Amino acid sequence: MLHIEQLSGGYDGKKYIQDVSFHVEKGEVLGILGPNGSGKSTILKLISGAMPYSEGTVLLDKKPLKNYTPKDLARKLAVLPQLHANTFTHTVREVVSLGRYPHQRSFFSSWSDEDEQAVQQAMQQMGITKYEHVEMAFLSGGEQQRVFVAQALAQQAEVLFLDEPTNHLDIAHQRQLLDVIRTEAKVKGLTVVSIFHDMNLAALYCDRLLLMQQGRIQTIGRPHEVLIDAQIEEVYDTRVAIQPHPEQAKPQVTILPMIFEDTPITIRKNHLQVTPQYAVFKSPLSLRTLSSAVHNAGFGWYDTFVNRTVSPNYEHQHVEQEFGAFLRQEGFLPTSTVGMMTALSMDAVVANDYDTPAGKFTVIVTAGVGKAIDVAEAYKHGEAVTIGTINTWIILNAHLSDEAFVQALITATEAKVKALQKAGVTDTISKTVATGTATDSVLIAATQQGTYIQYAGTATPLGKWIGKAVVETTVEAIETYKRLKGTGK
Ligand SMILES: Nc1ncnc2c1ncn2[C@@H]1O[C@H](COP(=O)(O)OP(=O)(O)OP(=O)(O)O)[C@@H](O)[C@H]1O
């Protein structure tokens, strides 16, 4: 739909845009990114005909842009208008109706049903119908922005150019606007080129991204080809982390600030308090955590870790809500707390500090093995899941990579299996060596200070010590469990 070849141009004879070539297919949404002054708006002006270009070609639907009359061009191409003070005395409806100008045959031609329908639909899409008769001056910045987008949509052009359309908009209206634009592209074949400062919105809604640097294209491609940390860091001179969006297969960019400095801390088992209802480990700073907990599982940052004792018949339809209510009642902040459950009494908690050549860490285990299972024979067990539960926590004074977190979790799980073997725990039905219980949980937490540790598998320095420590502590916890059982606790 749009072919740009070796385009150069700028202001006062100075070529701010140099040798830019790209194309945009019909129905595609292309996002333009780049630092301030990198030439994003200038490109848009050159390819929309708002400014003449000095070299190169711009083909709109195979025809040079220069060969279009202004009215023909307006039927083909809509540009999100900038905020104009002279629209302030006009009503919303009047401003949106201006979008129909290219479709009027003459100045005096009458307003058609088609015109009316286009205006009504655009106002409805942007959620501004209720302001229809309000003057622009009485609207907020975000509301005015939506009126201008509606004007561009009412134009019903084949190509839409937007310069930071979500500027001024709250998140609900950002989503609404970009949902509408993307739907128009995918359902009606609207071709969209839009400038974004928000890389995350651009990644989410655009098919491809074009990254500008000093008037040239640094790179163009699908979001995961453009949003690469080293590339973004170079172009924007800012440290970033790229992570997946939680629901869509799209990269998201997080700024890594330079100014925060954490007070150095050392985690030891004296941060653990045990009460009859729960064991709680309270860290002076939030720890990066990976766990399979009941409350706040997965990766996150937490400063409170609770292992709560519940009845073996504990059953709740909404465990997450019930657990949250319990935490609040006990004075813990649910958003900064990881929570697990066990049917064991809190006398069964075993905590050991390890001071190893690979670092200092603490292992805390509760091992209820009354309902132990051999994973190979688990299919012989009924549906009912009883809370037996081995809860294994490893809290490290170290800076772990994501790989190291996952590897530490694997190492800890393997060590747990070995401990069950060593302690002679068997599957209640098959009588073969047990590998765990039905509801075991693991937690790896780290201060993210000090030595950076890339790997934590069994052959690595840290992995070796985690293996030894988890086997030892789990065996001790199983013996404690058996002793308590013997005394009827
Ligand atoms: N009207 C103008 N007259 C002269 N120079 C201009 C004009 N508008 C922009 N420039 C210059 O052109 C260069 C590119 O500006 P442009 O507005 O295209 O950048 P941008 O990437 O859109 O920046 P921003 O993110 O700040 O909006 C800048 O160095 C700017 O100073």
How far is CA 482 from each of CA 374, 477, 486, rounded to the nearest angstrom?
A: 19, 9, 6
Compute the distance from residue 148 Cα to the ligand 1 centre, in Å.
22
140 has a pLDDT exceeding 60: yes
Q: Which residues pair with 396 in a beta bridge?
A: 361, 446
DSSP string, 447-486: ---SSEE---STTSHHHHHHHHHHHHHHHHHHHHHHHHHH
In the chain, CATH 3.40.50.300 covers 2-255
293 has a pLDDT exceeding 80: yes
Which pLDDT score is estimated for 311?
85
Compute the distance from residue 212 Cα to the ligand 1 centre, in Å.
12
Chain segment 18-57, per-residue pLDDT in tens: 999 999 999 999 999 999 999 999 999 999 999 998 899 9
Average pLDDT on 226-254 reads: 96
Which pLDDT score is estimated for 108?
59
How far is CA 214 from each of CA 211, 239, 261, 380, 381, rounded to the nearest angstrom?
A: 10, 19, 33, 66, 65
CATH architecture observed for domain 269-486? 4-Layer Sandwich (3.60)
388 has a pLDDT exceeding 90: no
Average pLDDT on 211-222 reads: 97
Longest Cα–Cα distance of the chain, Å, equals 98
3-state SS string for 275-294: CCCEEEEEEEEEEEEEECCC
Which pLDDT score is estimated for 382?
78
> Which position has the token pair 């301030």?
36
- Nearest residue to 303 via CA among 324, 328, 275, 332: 332
Q: Alpha-carbon distance 239 to 231, whole Å? A: 10
**Ligand 1 interacting residues, C-beta cut-off 6 A:** 11, 16, 34, 36-42
Q: Across all residues in the chain, what is the average pLDDT?
A: 92
In the chain, CATH 3.60.70 covers 269-486
DSSP, collapsed to helix, strand or coil, labels residue 138 as: helix
387 has a pLDDT exceeding 90: no
Compute the distance from residue 15 Cα to the ligand 1 centre, in Å.
11
283 has a pLDDT exceeding 80: yes
What is the best residue among 33, 40, 161, 212 to mutate for testing ligand 1's pocket, by most ligand atoms within 8 Å of CB?
Answer: 40
Q: How confident is the model at residue 123 (pLDDT cuts 50, 70, 90)?
A: very high
Which pLDDT score is estimated for 13?
82
Q: Alpha-carbon distance 178 to 184, whole Å? A: 10
Average pLDDT on 353-368 reads: 96
Give yes or no for a contact between 215 and 36, defined as CB atoms under 8 angstroms apart.
Answer: no
Compute the distance from residue 84 Cα to the ligand 1 centre, in Å.
19
Chain segment 389-445, per-residue pLDDT in tens: 899 999 999 999 999 999 999 999 999 999 999 999 999 889 999 999 988 999 999
Which pLDDT score is estimated for 81?
64
Which pLDDT score is estimated for 252?
98
Q: How confident is the model at residue 386 (pLDDT cuts 50, 70, 90)?
A: low
Query: Which CATH number is 2-255 given?
Result: 3.40.50.300
Q: Which atom of ligand 1 is nearest to the CA of 38?
A: 21
Give yes or no for a contact between 96 and 123, defined as CB atoms under 8 angstroms apart.
Answer: yes
| Residue-wise burial string across 97-116, b where 16 or more C-beta atoms lie within 10 A, e elsewhere | bbbbebbeeeeeeeeeeebe
Compute the distance from residue 478 Cα to the ligand 1 centre, in Å.
69
Which pLDDT score is estimated for 112?
86
Which pLDDT score is estimated for 380?
87
Average pLDDT on 370-385 reads: 84
Average pLDDT on 307-330 reads: 90
Which pLDDT score is estimated for 74?
87
Q: At what angle do helices 461-486 and 402-422 cross, to 10 degrees?
A: 40
User: What percent of the chain shows pLDDT beyond 90?
Assistant: 78
Question: ipTM score of the complex?
Answer: 0.97
Which pLDDT score is estimated for 399?
96
Please tell me the pTM assigned to this model. 0.84
Give yes or no for a contact between 59 and 47, defined as CB atoms under 8 angstroms apart.
Answer: no
Q: Alpha-carbon distance 137 to 108, whole Å? A: 28
